[in-house]
Structure 1
Amino acid sequence: MKNLNLFGYYLIITGLICSCNTNRSEKEIINTSVDTLSASGLVGISVKLIKTASIDFKVKNVFESAKHIVSSTHKMNGLVLDRHIESVDENSKSLAISDDSVQLINSYVVKANMLVSVPTEKLDGFIDDVSASAAHIQDIQLKIEDKSLDYLAGKMKQQNHEQLLQYKAGKNHKTNESISLLEQNNKLVDQQVKNKKIDADVNYSSVQLSFYQNPLVRSEVMARDDLSGYRLPFLSSIRNSFFNGWYYFLTFIIGAVSLWMFILAGVVIIFTYRYFKFRKVSAV
């Protein structure tokens, strides 16, 4: 009877150990990060997933939000790659308030576009921080691109190039073979750079941010650009007309004096004509 009890305890302990191992295996599967899984079948460090995101949202103040995004990016050891802020006019109206000035009223929207790069492990935290500071989220997109096979192919090609270069290193080469060796070297460098770029894109994720705020209204008084509206007061116009008339009269006198030879010749011709006409009448 005692042996049966001991055997029963043994079965219970064994069952508990197996159940713990089963739960442990399930937890390990559940806690496995998607960063270590690939559709290509690769696991672990061989997986190369490139994450990119884009957020389109509305804020209360574009300039303050831009400062907040820059500060948040720096805190996460990220980098601001591009920042562009612009004001887009929507409607405008001009009101004449005097002969020489107008009041210009226009509505405009301030928009911003930013491109930032943050560590991939902090991407979700960055998106949450930006979303929390937004007044309204219009669109959030997250894209994951699997570059595992491209990276693996690049490593295999790199190894092949290295083996080929090592094989040719101990031989004397002619000019054509030296050129071919140089081309192989360049291909090796290109492949190394390509793989390093994939590593950089895997470690740092790019986030495209587009945000704007409510339309604003701006009013300003400015000089009128229509010159027909600029006129002198009535008394000033009368005074200018008087002086202009006197100026034209003096100008006429000066012009007449300048033609004194023509006037004198005309007077001589007239008197000569009348003189000969008078003698002819007297003779008759």
Structure 2
Amino acid sequence: MKTKLFLALLAGVLLLGACKGSNYEAIRDDKASSSSADTVAKMTDTSKVDIPTTKLVKTADMRFKVKSVQQTGDAIAALTARNGGMVVHHQMQAYVERSEDIRVSNDSVKRVSALRTDADMTLKLPSEKLESFMTEVAHMGMYVTLRKMDIEDRTLDYLSEKLKLKNRQDLVEQQKKGKIVIKNPVNVMLLKDDMVDQQIGNMRTDEAVKYSIVNLSFYQSNFINQEMIANDDPSAYQLPFVNRLMIALSNGRQLFVELILGLANLWVFIIWGIGLWAIYRYYKRKHPTWFAGGIKS
């Protein structure tokens, strides 16, 4: 009887210890899960992030015809400076549509060309002055063929990058304090590089919100340009007929002298030829039948 009572008490003690141990493990796991949840909650908490003001990025384009491309370009540059902006690109080009050369003299030619001129400009302008600036530029032209303005809302993109940056900053701080261990140092460098890219990206957005980009393209009617240039045709630079005739006569005399000198250089062959011809005539006269028979045969 005593043995049965002892075994019953022992079983009760073991069961009580097992219950306490399982309760302890459950409490410890709950604490660990709570700590991780708190860490994630802190990293994703948006209540401490300032909501940015509306980020509106404005861009504008215009194409128009003017009386003078050069004068209009100068006027637009001056207007941009007065409005606190700057010209970041300015290109003016002239194309020759047609060209004709008119001979004025032997060495001079009048070149008449039909030219087409246009220009492209890119400006950075304070956004609050964009609409008034576009209206004033439109009045510089004869007429406008294209006018466009776009507004892009980047507020949510800006906020997204800001929250991501805050999360990465919190992660780096916890890594420094030893709460989170990042084993690979390369991952730390990549994380910091991402933080820099996000900061620069938001700075670019701020810049785009503050200053609008304006693309202008303008042109003018074709105009005629006349200029006197040197004749580049070598055949046009010949001497007058009389001078050329005198030169030809002089050249003929020179050729005759050269011919006599050439024959003089061949005097030996000439003498030999004359001698052979004389011998032939002599034998032909002394023996006419021999030559006649030789010819017949």
Q: State if a TM-score over 0.5 links the two structures.
A: yes
Q: 1:178 matched to which residue of 2? A: 185
Give the match's secondary structure for 1:133: coil
Alignment of 1:115-264 (within 5 A): 115-171=122-178, 177-264=184-271
Q: Which whole-Å deviations, capped at 9, do the CAs of 1:129-166 have from their partners, x for residues lacking one?
A: 21232232222100111212211111111111111211
Q: Which whole-Å deviations, capped at 9, do the CAs of 1:223-250 have from their partners, x for residues lacking one?
A: 3333334432221121111111011112
- Structure 2 distance, partners of 1:159, 1:181, is 15
Q: 2:69 matched to which residue of 1? A: 62
Tell me: CA distance 1:235–1:177, structure 2 relative to 1, closer, same or farther (3 Å).
Answer: same
- With 139-148 and 89-98 compared, the bigger mean Cα shift is at 89-98
- Structure 2 distance, partners of 1:237, 1:99, is 16
- Structure 2 distance, partners of 1:260, 1:166, is 115
User: Any conservation in 1 of the 2:110–2:227 contact (CA below 8 Å)?
Assistant: yes
Size of the aligned set, in residue pairs, is 239
- With 272-281 and 247-256 compared, the bigger mean Cα shift is at 272-281
Q: Which amino acid aligns with 1:237?
A: R
- Structure 1 distance, partners of 2:183, 2:99, is 71
Alpha-carbon RMSD across the aligned residues, in angstroms, is 2.8
- Structure 2 distance, partners of 1:269, 1:123, is 110
Q: Which whole-Å deviations, capped at 9, do the CAs of 1:151-184 have from their partners, x for residues lacking one?
A: 1111111111111211222449999611110111
Q: List gaps (5 residues or longer) in structure 2.
A: 1-50, 289-297
- With 137-146 and 95-104 compared, the bigger mean Cα shift is at 95-104
User: Any conservation in 1 of the 2:100–2:111 contact (CA below 8 Å)?
Assistant: yes
Q: Which whole-Å deviations, capped at 9, do the CAs of 1:73-111 have from their partners, x for residues lacking one?
A: 112221111000111222333333344443221221221
Select 2:101's aligned residue among 87, 94, 106: 94
Alignment of 1:100-119 (within 5 A): 100-119=107-126
Give the Å deviation of 1:219: 1.4
Give the match's secondary structure for 2:184: helix
User: Any conservation in 1 of the 2:182–2:188 contact (CA below 8 Å)?
Assistant: no
Instruction: Tell me the TM-score normalized by structure 2.
Output: 0.71
Give the match's secondary structure for 1:54: strand
Percent identity between the aligned chains? 32
Q: Which amino acid aligns with 1:222?
A: I
Give the Å deviation of 1:210: 0.8
- Structure 1 distance, partners of 2:243, 2:182, is 95
User: Any conservation in 1 of the 2:175–2:181 contact (CA below 8 Å)?
Assistant: no
Q: List gaps (5 residues or longer) in structure 1.
A: 1-43
Larger Rg: 2
- Structure 1 distance, partners of 2:265, 2:194, is 93
Instruction: Tell me the TM-score normalized by structure 1.
Output: 0.74
Q: Which amino acid aligns with 2:189?
A: L
